[in-house]
Amino acid sequence: MSWLGDDVLIVGACLAGLSTAQELRSLGFDGSITMVGEESHPPYDRPALSKQFLAGDGDEQRLLLPGHDELAELGITFRPNSTAVAADLAGRTVALHDGTELPFGTLVVATGVAPRPLPTSGPAPLTLRSIADAKRVAAQLRQRRRVVVIGAGVLGTELAWAAKSAGCDVQLVGVDPAPLPVLGPAVGEVVSRAITGAGVTFTGSVGVSDVRSGSDGAQEVLLDDGTVLHADCVITAVGSVPRVEWLRGNELDLSDGLRCDSGCSAAPGVYGVGDVASWWHAGLGDRLRVEHRMNASEQGRLVASNICGAGRDFTPIPFFWSDQGPNKVVVHGHPTSEAEFEPVVGSLADDRFAGVYREHGRVVAVLSWNSPREATRLRRELVA
Ligand SMILES: Cc1cc2nc3c(=O)[nH]c(=O)nc-3n(C[C@H](O)[C@H](O)[C@H](O)COP(=O)(O)OP(=O)(O)OC[C@H]3O[C@@H](n4cnc5c(N)ncnc54)[C@H](O)[C@@H]3O)c2cc1C
């Protein structure tokens, strides 16, 4: 096979990169595999950062992904503390921050995303992406301060719940009328009821025009409608920016992450996996870039098989979950902005329910609130 003896270089050493490397070996790939990552940690799991880690389980060892300790055994060279700063696709090399040039036959881009910064005139608010960020946020929450969370998506709402459970006085601000806009207005209302019922103040339909220094070391969050919120700690969760800066200068489309084809290839011998990669989902007939855990591991496995010559399209049913305090939300599929939620088991007023999202009569996603088994059952409708 043509891939035997090729050197695979994986840039980004977390879930997507690790699952690509592991799957390559389990498929019998016996060429060299090098995985470089800018962080000092072995590959770890980010979802726990906004959940168990902030809830007080600060044990970093428990965050590490299964198999992180088997890299040497699998013949995978792992280079932590190594940032890729440039790539030369024609010359088949990647340059690291310390001047090292790594050659490759096949390049796997697994560099994820960074928190989207919010321009402010005062000190930069905190964000949450890495273990280092989580330690900074946890230290603030321990002081039970006045916390303002800007951004009411999955991460923002989880941060607001974590701050509330830590005993902080929490205000959550979002541009949409209800939190978790990706789930539509009906489920958003349920999320809003739960989070405000727990004591978080939610302000929706408003933007933030600045975060500035206030008196006594406090911060002021200035809203578009002129309201000023006072905080000891401001955390933003206003989206993300794909980490593609090091790929510039090559003939690649980097307009929304690394643009790949239906088999997750961006150029001959160059693949994208995980949060950083957008690809053509041939099943949905749509271009997607998905920032969810399951996607990162499935895409890594698919790309490994394509490196080995499988020639497959990546057509997963997207899946994600979120812990909204004590409530477990599970979503299979892709709720579009036009889709409407229809409860199938229970009702939106109950503590548990499950239902489907329909667009023009067609089921495009299923969701459960505290009933993951119902979501699994309803998923069959989605597959059909
Ligand atoms: C706090 C938090 C909570 C989450 N909760 C959920 C959840 O409940 N459910 C869910 O489905 N998903 C959740 N996610 C999303 C999930 O964690 C991601 O989808 C997953 O981590 C993506 O993996 P990845 O390997 O593509 O990217 P990442 O995990 O971001 O890994 C990319 C790695 O590449 C490194 N890197 C970047 N640029 C370079 C460079 N130039 N050179 C070398 N290394 C580089 C980065 O430092 C990083 O270590 C959450 C994410 C966060 C941050």
Residue 57: its pLDDT value, please?
Answer: 76
C-alpha closest to that of 213 among 149, 127, 120:
120
C-beta of residue 42 within 8 angstroms of C-beta of residue 67: no
Residue 3: its pLDDT value, please?
Answer: 43
Superfamily, domain 7-114+240-307: FAD/NAD(P)-binding domain (3.50.50.60)
Fold of 326-383: Enolase-like; domain 1 (3.30.390)
Q: How far apart are the C-alpha atoms of 355 and 154, rounded to whole Å?
A: 19
SS3 164: helix
Q: Which two tokens stand for residue 174?
A: 């979002």
Q: How far apart are the C-alpha atoms of 176 and 153, rounded to whole Å?
A: 10
Distance from Cα 264 to the centre of ligand 1, integer Å: 18
* pTM for this predicted structure: 0.96
| Number of Cβ atoms within 10 Å of the Cβ of 203 | 16
| Per-residue tens of pLDDT for the chain, all 384 residues | 334 347 999 999 999 999 999 999 999 999 999 999 999 999 999 999 999 999 887 788 999 998 888 999 999 999 999 999 999 999 999 999 999 999 999 999 999 999 999 999 999 999 999 999 999 999 999 998 899 999 999 999 999 999 999 999 999 999 999 999 999 999 999 999 999 999 999 999 999 999 999 888 899 999 999 999 999 999 999 999 999 999 999 999 999 999 999 999 999 999 999 999 999 999 989 999 999 999 999 999 999 999 999 999 999 999 999 999 999 999 999 888 889 999 999 999 999 999 999 999 989 999 999 999 999 999 987 776
The reply to whether ligand 1 has any atom less than 6 angstroms from the CB of 322 is: yes
Q: How far apart are the C-alpha atoms of 263 and 105, rounded to whole Å?
A: 18
Same fold, 7-114+240-307 and 117-236: yes
Which of 40, 275, 288 has the most ligand 1 atoms within 8 A of CB, as the residue to mutate?
A: 275
Q: How far apart are the C-alpha atoms of 322 and 215, rounded to whole Å?
A: 36
Domain ranges of the chain: 7-114+240-307, 117-236, 326-383
| Number of Cβ atoms within 10 Å of the Cβ of 358 | 15
Our CA angle for 347, 350, 353, nearest 5°, is: 55
The reply to whether ligand 1 has any atom less than 6 angstroms from the CB of 155 is: yes
Fold of 117-236: FAD/NAD(P)-binding domain (3.50.50)
Nearest-CA residue for ligand 1 atom 26 is 274
C-alpha closest to that of 364 among 107, 184, 228, 218:
184
Residue 292: its pLDDT value, please?
Answer: 95
The reply to whether ligand 1 has any atom less than 6 angstroms from the CB of 112 is: yes
Atom of ligand 1 nearest to the CA of 82: 43
Q: How far apart are the C-alpha atoms of 63 and 267, rounded to whole Å?
A: 33
